[in-house]
Amino acid sequence: MKDLFGIELDNPTANNVVVNLFQLGANASSEIVNGVLAESETETYQISIGTGSFIFYFNGDTTDIDNNPNTLFNVSASNVFLENSTATPSPSALRQIDYSDGATNLVLRTQTIPPVSLSDWTNAMESLFETKVGESDCISINAIPLIQYNGLSYLISIKYDINYLRSESYILNTPTFTPIQNIRLNNSTFTSTITLPINGFSGLPNNWNSSFSTINGILVRGTTGDNYGEILRSQVGNPMAINSMRITPLASSNYDLSSRISQLLQPIKFTRVDSNGLSDSYVLSPTVDLYQAMTTLDYLNLGTKTDDFPLDGNTIFSYELLPFAKVNIQFDFVEMSNFIFANRKLIEEVVRLNKEKNKRVKYLSGISREYKLEIK
């Protein structure tokens, strides 16, 4: 396995969420679920502020949106609503999902009081899907709304992530498990049809992706060719000592610099649980130069604690994600055998040599610099 691996952590919720990774065993199996991720293309529409004639309207605070034209703001799905004109008996009204077997479900088709939020809409789709396939806890649907003001009107961009909490082979070999193919919303003026992949893993952009998700909704993706499951399993035969980490927030509630810096400042906690159930923890608290527009932290390391927290299935990596944050984390590691980990002096020597190598590479390549985000 390469001496560098990366993961992307995606928090599609409006909550601060702590993710716990890399632990093996019974406790870990209740934290992470392996499944299939079906991602839609992002569709953009005009949106009303308060009720109007479009398909959606927004009922939240627009102060920051108004003051920052042409900037995308990731808003809560509970503040985005379906117009009542999409509900029966309005002319041409439609709220519907289509399945891969040709079946359909009407979703909250007559509800206007209280109005249907985007969160209500996705929750209802989950319930209808589970009823149709006759299974529970088998799907998680996230609608991710982004709003911007272009100086003339408000636009909303919506992407749907559907996480099927079953394996690809199970889905493809279970005739009653019929993935959602289309999500439809119509009124007399506008039509929206969002199509989702239903065809399995083919490597094409419009097909499924392997997904790992936590019980609190965080998506975990591999970014260096290995998915999270492969990284997790590789610890068993060859534990990894972490030399350094690189953290880059990719997105936030409004994609601005201060939100990225806030994410960079979140502490990283390593917890080691031994065979007797005793635990030891170490918290790494990043710092940034407030006078620099830093959007990446490089060469974060555990210092003298490196050899105390190897990734071997007994170490938990905990990291808090701010609302709507998406973060890329790269780990530079030394792969060792279990024999080496039994020899503490040998561990310390190998880690020391790799730290020296890192210092030389850092100096010679000129990578040691602060990354800046140009604000236009």
Share of the chain above pLDDT 90, in %: 45
pLDDT, mean over the chain: 84
More confident residue, 347 or 308: 308
What pLDDT does 376 receive? 38
Under 8 Å between Cβ of 241 and 333: yes
Quote the pLDDT of residue 353: 59
The one-character DSSP state at 46 is: E
Residue 345's pLDDT is 58
Q: Are 86 and 93 in contact (CB under 8 A)?
A: yes
Q: Which of 63-72, 179-188, 196-205 has the lowest mean pLDDT?
A: 196-205
For the ranges 78-87, 170-179, 244-253, 361-370, the lowest mean pLDDT is seen at 361-370
347, pLDDT greater than 50: yes
Rounded Cα gap, residues 328 and 276, in angstroms: 34
Mean pLDDT in residue range 87-106: 96
CA distance 24 to 112: 47
- pLDDT at position 357 is 56
Segment of 4-13, 204-213, 300-309 carrying the highest mean pLDDT: 4-13
Residue 351 has pLDDT above 90, yes or no: no
Answer yes or no: is pLDDT of 134 > 90: yes
Residue 117 has φ and ψ, to the nearest 5°, of: -85, 165
DSSP H helical ranges for 8-108 = 26-29, 63-67
Q: Of 116-125, 130-139, 215-224, 231-240, which gets the smallest average pLDDT?
A: 231-240
DSSP 374: P
Helix H or strand E segment including 296: none
Cα atoms found within 13 Å of the Cα of residue 355, Cβ hemisphere only: 17
Among the residue ranges 115-119, 238-242, 353-357, the one predicted with the least confidence is: 353-357
pLDDT at position 224: 81
Over 50: is that where the pLDDT of 324 sits?
Answer: yes
What tokens does 286 get?
A: 């990043």
Query: How is the beta sheet containing 315-321 ordered, strand by strand?
Result: 17-21, 315-321, 268-273, 279-284
Q: ∠ CA 256-19-322 to the nearest 5 degrees?
A: 20
Residues 6+ apart with CB under 8 A from 76: 14, 60, 119
Of 180 and 236, the one with more pLDDT: 180
Taking alpha carbons only, the member of 142, 147, 146 closest to residue 219 is 142
Distance (Å, rounded) from C-alpha 248 to C-alpha 329? 6
What does the pLDDT look like over 236-291, one tens digit per residue?
777 888 888 999 998 666 656 777 888 989 999 999 887 777 789 999 988 877 66
What per-residue confidence (pLDDT) applies to 337?
59
CB neighbour burial string for 108-125, b if at least 16 within 10 angstroms, e if fewer: beebeeeebbbbbbbebb
Confidence of residue 133 (pLDDT cuts 50, 70, 90): very high
Question: Is pLDDT of 24 > 90?
Answer: no
Q: What is the pLDDT of residue 361?
A: 45
Distances (CA, A) of 165 to 117, 151, 197: 24, 42, 15
Closest CA to 289 of 257, 320, 316, 321: 257
At residue 182, the pLDDT reads 96
- Residue 268: phi, psi to the nearest 5? -115, 130
Decide if 214 contacts 19 (C-beta within 8 A).
yes
The span from the CA of 341 to the CA of 334, in Å, is 11
Identify the weakest region by mean pLDDT among 83-92, 269-278, 346-355: 346-355
* 48-49: strand order across its sheet: 48-49, 56-58, 80-82
pLDDT of residue 243: 85
Nearest one of 142, 139, 130, 16 to 80, comparing CA atoms:
142
Residues 6+ apart with CB under 8 A from 285: 267, 268
Task: Say how far apart CA 44 and CA 258 lie, in whole Å.
Answer: 26
pTM more than 0.75: yes
Lowest mean per-residue pLDDT among 147-151, 165-169, 192-196, 354-358: 354-358
Instruction: Tell me the backbone φ, ψ of residue 26, rounded to 5 degrees.
Output: -60, -40
Mean pLDDT of 34-61: 92
**Per-residue confidence (pLDDT) for residue 350, from 0 to 100:** 55
Within 8 A by CB and 6+ apart from 278, the residues are none
pLDDT for 81 beyond 60: yes
Give dist(CA 82, CA 115) in Å, integer.
Answer: 7
